[in-house]
């Protein structure tokens, strides 16, 4: 008797016990992959030639696995594409219990779909650390940040339902700017910052709105050849 373990299921893909990457992709799946590629090209992550090549492959892709291979090295919003194995938020990938960030006269940034640990130790000296939680993968109900900041800046980019507490933070000639949670929005994630900060700034804020496009400026020749404005003469004078 023939083995039918790889026979198509009712939806046209593999049977439920088949490989997820072998399931057939839809037109919407291809469109989402193309959008991720276009955003990556706009951010400078891939070249125009790579964009053309990958878009062509995405439009002819037949399975989830083929689409995932085209975007495996690019950041994407959680849920926008089937996550390839090993990426943040994919099955079998869990956040660490403790992560350490050491920044000495530099800049460190965590953004996109990064895995948020349960505890975070931040050692900062003459630098800036930015933690953006707008697309972060939250595996725990809260985050404990143990900070040791010497003349540095710690920025937390939060969103609705994220509460930031600084009651256990010892300050010395430092500023703390934390916006209170919005009324009527339940707290879905809590961030508690403890430790010490000396001559430093700790800020928790929502994402910045995109800047409106600037009005076009006159060129040098447009400015040089401008016509003087005629002033109106007072009544009775010609």
Q: What is the mean pLDDT of the chain?
A: 78
The pLDDT, as a whole number, for residue 153 is 96
Residue 213 parent element (H or E): none
- pLDDT category of residue 120 using cuts at 50, 70 and 90: very high
d(CA 25, CA 65) in angstroms, rounded, equals 9
Least confident of 52-56, 110-114, 184-188, 199-203: 184-188
Q: Is 155 or 225 the better-scoring residue by pLDDT? A: 155
Q: Is 113 or 233 the better-scoring residue by pLDDT? A: 113
Same domain, 113 and 191: yes
The pLDDT, as a whole number, for residue 212 is 74
Q: Where are the alpha helices (DSSP H) in the chain?
A: 27-42, 48-59, 64-71, 220-224
On whether residue 127 sits in a domain, the answer given is: yes
Least confident of 78-82, 175-179, 217-221: 78-82
Is 119's pLDDT higher than 60?
yes
Same domain, 181 and 111: yes
Is 8's pLDDT higher than 60?
no
Alpha-carbon torsion (120, 195, 143, 189), positive or negative:
negative
Is 213's pLDDT higher than 60?
yes
* Distance of alpha carbon 138 from the chain centroid: 13
On whether residue 84 sits in a domain, the answer given is: no
What total of structural domains would you count in the chain? 2
On whether residue 3 sits in a domain, the answer given is: no
For 168, the domain range is 98-205
User: What does residue 235 show for φ and ψ, rounded to 5 degrees?
Assistant: -55, 140
The pLDDT, as a whole number, for residue 221 is 65
On whether residue 27 sits in a domain, the answer given is: yes
On whether residue 187 sits in a domain, the answer given is: yes
pLDDT tens track for 142-158 = 999 999 999 999 999 99
Least confident of 102-116, 159-173, 209-223: 209-223
Same domain, 66 and 118: no
Q: Helix or strand or coil: residue 12? A: coil
Same domain, 58 and 125: no
* Distance of alpha carbon 124 from the chain centroid: 22
The pLDDT, as a whole number, for residue 38 is 82
pLDDT tens track for 59-82 = 898 887 888 888 888 765 444 444
Region 205-209: what's the mean pLDDT?
86
Same domain, 125 and 160: yes
For residue 145, with 0-12 CB atoms within 10 Å meaning exposed, 13-18 middle and 19 or more buried, which class applies?
buried
Same domain, 57 and 116: no
pTM over 0.85: no
What DSSP string runs through 114-182?
Answer: PEE-SEEEEEEESSEEEEE-SS-EE-SSEEEEEEEEES-EEEEE--TTEEEEEEEEEEES-EEEEPPPP
Same domain, 110 and 34: no
């Amino acid at each position: 008797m023939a083995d039918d373990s790889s026979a198509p299921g009712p939806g046209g893909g593999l049977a439920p016990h088949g490989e997820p990457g072998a399931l057939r992709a839809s037109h919407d799946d291809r469109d989402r992959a193309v959008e991720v590629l276009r955003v990556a090209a706009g951010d400078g992550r891939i070249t125009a030639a790579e964009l053309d090549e990958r878009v062509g492959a995405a439009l002819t892709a037949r399975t989830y696995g083929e689409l995932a291979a085209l975007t495996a090295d690019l950041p994407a919003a959680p849920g926008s594409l089937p996550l390839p194995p090993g990426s943040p938020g994919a099955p079998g990938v869990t956040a660490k219990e403790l992560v350490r960030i050491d920044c000495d006269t530099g800049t460190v940034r965590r953004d996109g779909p990064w895995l948020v640990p349960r505890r975070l130790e931040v050692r900062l000296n003459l630098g800036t650390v930015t933690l953006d939680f707008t697309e972060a993968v939250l595996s725990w109900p809260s985050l404990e940040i143990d900070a040791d900041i010497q003349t540095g800046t710690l920025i937390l980019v939060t969103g609705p339902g994220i509460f930031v507490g600084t009651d256990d933070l010892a300050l010395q000639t430092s500023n703390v700017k934390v916006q209170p949670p919005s009324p009527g929005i339940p707290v879905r994630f809590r961030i508690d910052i403890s430790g010490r900060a000396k001559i430093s700034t700790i800020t928790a804020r929502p994402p910045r709105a995109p800047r409106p496009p600037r009005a076009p400026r006159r060129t040098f020749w447009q400015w040089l050849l401008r016509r003087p404005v005629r002033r109106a003469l007072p009544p009775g004078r010609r």
